[in-house]
Amino acid sequence: MKTFYIKTFGCQMNVYDSQRIVSMLRGRGMVQTESVEDADIIILNTCSVREKATNKVFSELGRIRDRKKTSALFGIIGCVARESGADAFRRIPELNFVLGPQSYHKLPMILDNPDARLLNIDLSGLEKFDELPPMTDSPAVAYIPIQEGCNHCCTYCIVPYTRGRELSRAFEDVMRDVRDAAAGGAIEICFLGQNVNGYRDKDSRTLADLCRDTAKIDSIKRIRFTSSYPTEMSDDLIELFGTEPKLLPFLNMPIQSGSPDVLTRMNRPYSLELYIDIVRKLRAARSDIQISSDFIVGFPGETDADFEMTCDIARLVGYINSYSFKYSPRPHTAAAIMRDQIPENIKKERLKILDDILTENNRAFNESCVGQTMSCLIEGPDKTGRHIIARTPYMQKVIVPAMPEQRVEEQKSKRVKNKHQLSYSPTLLLSVKITSANKCSLRGEIAA
């Protein structure tokens, strides 16, 4: 029986793509393995949002080349494949396939013709959604793309090149995926898109409409979406946070910088006043909502005053669970050739300052949760097998001691390292009382 190995880098869109590939290969009678050495085909699903991520992929390919079976096929799919194209074969001559993020549904071609080389980095729009078989089972959290690409063309971002211009999927196609996921065991739906709240189908139905229809499915208990663009945050969607209890009180809405001048150079045409007004409306609609963001420090031309404005907005909004990065020049982007590139040592210093602010935000919010009882979604056992890892409605990690009846006998499989593992339903919601907190996680106990 043929086996496959797949490793996923990057965003939740890639997680979804990998899930579809797994379903496709299993449909061909193949079995997934966690061992590169045992695999008959090896797939890296890649991310190119930063230069470091691209370099990591090619380093991993070099290691795989030395470990894999001689007969094994291996290659890359996703954004690094789209960015590198035929150059990937030059860097790693032994590669068998290079497929872009809208071309991976053509993977069976290399399985049927293993002596060939396959290069396809075309931007074929939504074709892959029509070509791939439906998923036959789902994890507790189902990631469902509702669009591909982006039209905003931020000057630092490679997404319009790697994933193309923005295209929204048909409303009924998305809802079919939602129903399939629910039937397969999912209880949380996360809608995905580079500009997810900009979703519009041919009948002008929106993300808010998708959320409303999804909430009607009894087995779906939690709904969220990522990532949002500030100017696409409609009043209808904002109001839904106050009226639909299944919509989690947590929103990722990246601001990237607190400086109007930097935002202009980034080609992000919104004012700080507009952004702050959206936050106020969200908190008026639902008082317990929390906001996360992405930040880029050291963007070309960023002054000390610009950076201090970013720190100010981070403190003002009180973001939790946010991501901050040093600016990384990417090919095919306008910012890569801008003047006044910031030295690496300054970027590093600024990142440390911003990270400290964001960490303190996390600590303060986590500590405010102590004493509360929350509905938390189980992810699985921890490394010891003696605790449950779950996620709060705010995506915080909470560690809960396992109850005695949740323990099972030692697993006989040689791949299981822990002598005690938890027996749990992967679709179980737990009511957890938060007992302590630190900057990274919570601890709790199952509420009576």
State the pLDDT confidence band at 424, using cuts at 50, 70 and 90: very low
Tell me the residue length of the chain: 448
Mean pLDDT of all residues in the chain? 90
pLDDT at 423: 43
Averaged pLDDT, 18-31 = 91
Nearest alpha-carbon partner for 100 in 60, 144, 48, 151? 48
Continuous H helices in 85-227: 87-91, 108-112, 127-131, 159-162, 171-183, 207-215
Condensed to tens digits (0 to 9), the pLDDT of residues 38-59 reads: 999 999 999 887 778 888 899 9
Nearest alpha-carbon partner for 130 in 87, 94, 176, 92? 176
Q: Are 24 and 16 in contact (CB under 8 A)?
A: no
Condensed to tens digits (0 to 9), the pLDDT of residues 102-124 reads: 888 899 898 898 888 999 888 87
State pTM to two decimals: 0.86
Condensed to tens digits (0 to 9), the pLDDT of residues 221-263 reads: 999 999 999 999 999 999 999 999 999 999 999 999 999 999 9
Which amino acid belongs to residue 158?
I
Q: Is 406 left (phi over 0), alpha (psi -120 to 50) or beta?
A: alpha
Environment class of 226 (CB within 10 Å of its CB; exposed 0-12, middle 13-18, buried 19+) = buried
State the pLDDT confidence band at 407, using cuts at 50, 70 and 90: very low
Residue 139 has pLDDT above 50, yes or no: yes
Q: Are 271 and 259 in contact (CB under 8 A)?
A: no
Condensed to tens digits (0 to 9), the pLDDT of residues 367-381 reads: 999 999 999 999 888
Environment class of 276 (CB within 10 Å of its CB; exposed 0-12, middle 13-18, buried 19+) = middle
Residue 155 has pLDDT above 90, yes or no: yes
Write down all domains in the chain, each with its CATH number in brackets: 3-120 (3.40.50.12160), 134-248 (3.30.750.210), 261-367 (3.30.750.200), 373-446 (2.40.50)
Averaged pLDDT, 414-427 = 39
Q: Are 249 and 274 in contact (CB under 8 A)?
A: no
Range in 11-15, 303-307, 387-391 with the lowest mean pLDDT: 11-15
pLDDT at 157: 94
pLDDT at 404: 56
